[in-house]
Amino acid sequence: MQRKNVLISPSILDSDLSDIGGTLRRLDLAGVDRIHLDVMDGHFVRNLSLGPHSIHSARRHAKAPFETHLMISNPEKYIREFADAGSDIIIVHSEASHKLESTIRSIRRYGAMAGIALKPGTKVEAARKYLGKIDTLLIMGVHPGFGGQKFISGSLVKIKKARDMIDELGFKTVVAVDGGMNAYTARLAIAAGADEIVAGSAIFKSNNPVKSIARLRKIADHELQVRNLSFRDRRIL
């Protein structure tokens, strides 16, 4: 499917969490498409971060949709809490649950959009049978747990596979990439077929987060235009 623009979703994991309200208001003003919230349980990944209470408190500071990325074991137990806290999209890891099908159903039942995330070692095929039932397929560009890591270039092949699979099946599922995204790697990811770029340190470790978002958006939209052109050419030839 051809898109008009790439979704830009800042991850606030590496932002100054003592001023989360201010950060979210500035992200709204910067016109971001989604705000990416990383939830970690110290079990599925070796780190701890936000929970439903902090997400609920943050909710009133931004209008942009909240995309909650659950890096927790047995996410099915907590769907209601994260939906009630104000998550618009809830993404669960395919490796974290044996009950993906019912977890996706419960995310929708509680009024949120559903997504599946894949760790670098997990094949795209693991998500195939759910593609028609989810809104977002999130491909990790790093091993989940920490911001500021280097993009694993092998993820590009997975992005391409996901793109082709979704297009062949005729679904509208968004292909998101999370981890190691910067102006350079985002271009590669979009050329490979990504629709959404999640970026943390490239935004919050820069001197000017608002400018970094604008730069990322400009580069992303340019790369998407190139991708759309070659898509059209392929159909004409």
Answer for which of 76, 135, 178, 195 binds Zn ion (CB under 5 A) is: 178
Q: Which of the listed partners (ligand DX5, Zn ion, none) does 142 bind, with a CB threshold of 5 to 8 Å by partner kind?
A: ligand DX5
Cα 232 versus chain centre, distance: 27
With contacts defined by CB under 6 A, name the span among 59-67, 94-102, 129-137, 139-147 that binds ligand DX5: 139-147
Tokens of 96: 């974290």
How big is the site for Zn ion, counted in residues (CB under 5 A)? 3
Please choose which of ligand DX5, Zn ion, none residue 13 contacts, taking the beta carbon within 5 to 8 angstroms, the exact cut-off set by kind: ligand DX5
Active site residue 88: no
| Cβ(117)–Cβ(94) below 8 Å | yes
x/- site string to ligand DX5, residues 54 to 73, per CB under 6 A?
---------------x----
151 contacts 142 by C-beta, under 8 angstroms:
yes
Q: Does 34 bind Zn ion (CB under 5 A)?
A: no
Please identify which of the residues 14, 41, 178, 195 carries the catalytic annotation.
178
Task: Give min distance, CB of 95 to ligand DX5, in A.
Answer: 13
Instruction: Tell me if 47 sits within 8 A of 55, measured CB to CB.
Output: no
Active site residue 41: no
Kindly state the tokens that stand for 57: 């408190």
Structure tokens at 24: 């979210």
Query: What backbone torsions phi and psi does residue 2 show, to the nearest 5 degrees?
Result: -90, 135
Write down the catalytic residue from 14, 38, 41, 135: 38
Q: Which C-beta is closer to Zn ion: that of 69 or that of 187?
A: 69
Under the criterion CB under 5 A, does residue 135 sit at the interface with Zn ion?
A: no
Contact letters for ligand DX5, residues 87-126 (x by CB under 6 A)? ----------------------------------------
223 counts as binding Zn ion under rule CB under 5 A: no
Per-residue contact string for residues 187-216; x = within reach of ligand DX5 by CB under 6 A: -----------xxxxx--------------
> For ligand DX5, which is the closer residue by CB, 11 or 173?
11
Q: Which residues are at the interface with ligand DX5 (CB under 6 A)? A: 11, 13-14, 36, 38, 69, 142, 144-145, 147-149, 178-181, 198-202
Q: Which active-site residues does the annotation give? A: 38, 178
